Each structure stands twice: as C-alpha cells, then as structure tokens.
Structure 1
Amino acid sequence: MASIPAILEIPPPEVAELWRQVLKPTFMIGGWLWILSYVLLARENMRSKSYGMPLFALANNLAWELIYAFYFHDVWFKRLVFTIWVCLEIPIVFGTIRNSKYEWSHTPIVHEHFGKILLALTLWCAVGHWSFLHWWFEWNISAKKGKFYRGVEGPDPTELKWWSGEFCQMTLSLTSLVQLITRQHTRGVTWAIWATRAIGSSFEPHFHALFAWLYWREPHEFLASPVSIFLSGTAVICDLVYPFVFAHIRRRERNSSSNSGAKDKNGSTKKLR
C-alpha cells in the first residue's frame, strides 16, 4: 500500500493547474531567502558587538521552528527547510547571548541573566505553539474538504501554519523596527539582512497567501479576515518602514563619525602648535 503524504491538498477540478505549480517554488524561494538572512545575521553577530534579532522574536521564532521541524508532520522539503532554520538559529543564539552585554549594560538584571531569560522565553513559546497545534487538530478546527493531515481529510494544516507563522512574522517585523528606533544605531543589522527577510516574507507566506485566496478561495477565505489582514498588514508595513528608519540612523552614524574624525584632527593640530 502506498504511503500517504503527511500533508496533502486536493483542489477541485475548477481550480487552475497553476495552483499546484506555484506552491513549491514560492515556499522554496522564501525559505532559502530566510536561510540567507539567518546566515547574514549570524555573520553580523560575529562581526559586530551587537545582535540583530530582538530577544522575544528570537525566542518565538526558534520555538516555532523547533515545533514545526520535529513535531509537526509536514512534507519532507518543508521539514528540511525548518530543520536548516533551527541549525542556523544556534549560532545566532550564541552570538546574541555573547553580545547582550553591550546592549543591556544599563539593565544589570537582564545583562546578568540574558541566557536564562532567552531559554525561558523559548520554552514558554514552544509550549504555546505546541498547545495551539494540538488544540487545532484535537478539536478539528476549521475542517475543510480537500485538506488533509496525516492522511485524514478535514484538518487544514495550511490555515494552522498561517496563524502561527504570521504571528511570528508580525512579532519579528514589529520588534525589529522598534529595536532599531530605540537603539538608534545599526550594529547587528545590514541592508542585506533586511532585504532577504522582507523579500523572503513577500514570497512565503504573503505571495503564497494572495495566490491561494485568488485561485482557491473557498478554503482560504480566512486570509481576508480582519485579524489576518491585521497580522499580515502590520508585518508588511513595518518591513516597508524599516529601510527608511535604517537609512536615517545610518546617515547620522556616518555624520557623527565624520565629525569625530574632524575634531580629532583639529585637536592634534592644536597640540602641534
């Protein structure tokens, strides 16, 4: 007997064949851009005395990736991408803990217990993501025709991952923007990190979601719900505002550096006289 795929979608005949063809490419493009973003984050953590991913967003993302890599029954290539994400988060976590002393020196209790706080937040978020997943399938939330999970028709894993993933996306985009504004420096982040994260999210989940709503609307009407628009809209707006704030702060940093250099030069000249 042939094995049943972990997740399977069987759209009705009237759904365009293009629907099947676009699913894997959009996920893979988005997934690999996020992989590149994680590599750049880890590299920047090592290079600068700072970190790029905010504390809660890091804990929440890591917890989500752990649950969906090792507990959630997904198709193999998606589990592979989630597993790669988890592996790349490890150097990001260590770099964040190492550099936390430079960002939290004004708050000794956070500085001294940063690693423990990150661990506690990660465990707490993992319990939350596991509870949501368990509740979703145990109570058969949002059962639909043409949607399968572990060979059973009804439970919609696509909608489950949308709500949990979009919460992570909104949290990361919002806290990244807030962190940039409150820090007033760009250490730990770069243009490339923002671009790979923002473009990757545009492909997966946002382009995927738009395509699903346009071509197979019946089981994807939740994508146009107010709460869905709020989550995705907040994430997109923050990602669009981010580069303008980044450019403004980077310009101030360069001006400040130039002024400091000029002052040092003038001071040296005066000493010679």
Structure 2
Amino acid sequence: MATNSTLKNQLANKQETSAQQVSANSLGLKSLLNTPTMQKKFDQVLEKKAPQFMASLLNLYNGDPSLQAAEPMSIVSSAMVAASLDLPIDKNLGYAWIVPFYDKNKGHKAAQFQLGYKGYIQLALRTGQYKAINVIEVREGELKKWNRLTEELELDLEGTSSDKVIGYCGYFRLVNGFEKTVYWTKDEVEAHRIKHNKMKDKKALNNVWKSDYDAMAMKTVLRNMLGKWGILSIEMQKAISEDEREVKDITDDASEEEPEKIIDVEYTETDPEPKKKKDKESAQDVMDMSFD
C-alpha cells in the first residue's frame, strides 16, 4: 500500500522528469546539435568527420535567414540524410542542399534534403562502374545535330554564339563499354519542372530552381538518365528515393502536423540555455523519427 510519502516522492519525480523534457523544436539548432543524442547519431554515421560536418551545418544555418525560420528538427533530419550519403551540404559546392519550404497547412517552414547533380555524379563514381559521366549546359550555336532515336549528338563547343542556354546534355560510359547520351531541350526541362511543381502556381520558380536553374536542370537530366539506363548501387537508390520522397512530402496539401519530438535537457539557475544531460536519453528520443 502506497504511503503519503511514497506518493509525494513519485509526484516529485514525475514533475522533475517533465521539467527536464522539452520539445526538440523549441530548442535552437545549436542547442539541439549539442544534445548527447544528436552528437551520438552524427558520430555513428560520420565518425571523425562528425564535428566538421556539424560545424558546416551551423555555418549554413547562420548564413541563411530563410533556413533559420525552418523547424530545427527538419533541418537536422535533412542534414542526417546528407551525412549518411557522405556528401557536403555547402550549397556553393552543389553536392546536396538543405532547402526550406513553407508548409501552408502547418503554418511554418520545414527543411528538406535535395541532392545536387554533383552529388549524383559522386555517388555514381563510387560504384566503380562508371568510366566517365558528365552533364553540361548547351548554349546557342553549340548544337549541330541530335537524333533522338540513334542518340547521335554533334556539338561544337567552340561555336557558341551567345550565353543563352538552349538545352542540357548528359553522358556516361560504363567500364564494360556501354554508353548513353541524352539531350533535353530547355523547353523539355521546363515542361518536366512544371509537371512536378507542387506549388499552386505551377510556373513559379522556387528555391534552387530560382537561385540556380541550370544546376537543377542538369540534375533533372542526369537523374532521369541514370534512373533509366545507369547502374544504381544501394547507396544511389537510397539517394534517389530520399531526393524524391522529400519533395513529395512537403506540399500545400501536407497532412496534420506530427507530434513534437521530446528530448532530455537539464536547466540550471545560472544558465538560461539547456545543458547536456549526461548518460541519459529520453524514451521519447528525438531521433526515433527514422534515421536508423
């Protein structure tokens, strides 16, 4: 039979536990990354490269006001995808991007992972099956002949008459000798973009399409070519799946907001910021979301 003293102790312990648990999304990104759970997850994936990667994530966050408005947990989950593929997230490098999108139904911004065309090339080269792989813009005056059936392509890269981009060309050659060439006109790329645009205004440019149209166009051509004719490793299949899944998940028709993840932190009277709680992880671990 429980005594009054026992009940008081249980109530006190429950209140203490509740005080130590805060919503992950209520923490700033820096505080979130400093939690033992997050550090452990990134260490498991990146080992010695984890501190450098997490520092680059903070640099990206601090330099992008639009990203700062996104849910911290969505930023971390997007970064974890890039980490699992061992790709840098510096947007100037073009391997992978963490892009904020506004979710109208949820009323806030959420970040999503997007793979760049250089990321696709990097993952392809890691398979050891590609002897050569590339994708380029084709400018006005450079295209001499293109046969869609035989895939005979004739370019004169010295014949550029203007900087206007009229199309995009992708090419790869496998170590076994098989090769593939594809050419998309800019109109074909634009039609593909509009078809898959999740915005209400289908013709509107958003995010990377707005800031670097050619990079996204080359990615589209490369991904389509590799998906149809390339050799895809498990890592490449995962990358393509993540790239496509994230884009589909964040739309104006998003489902109800997920319950906030909980993470253990500890407060002190002298420190307004949450401090790391040693050797304890909440049963409602913030990383339960699907990083494993």
TM over 0.5: no
Rg comparison, structure with higher value:
2
Q: Which has the higher contact order (CA 8 A, sep 6+)?
A: 1
TM-score by length of 2: 0.28
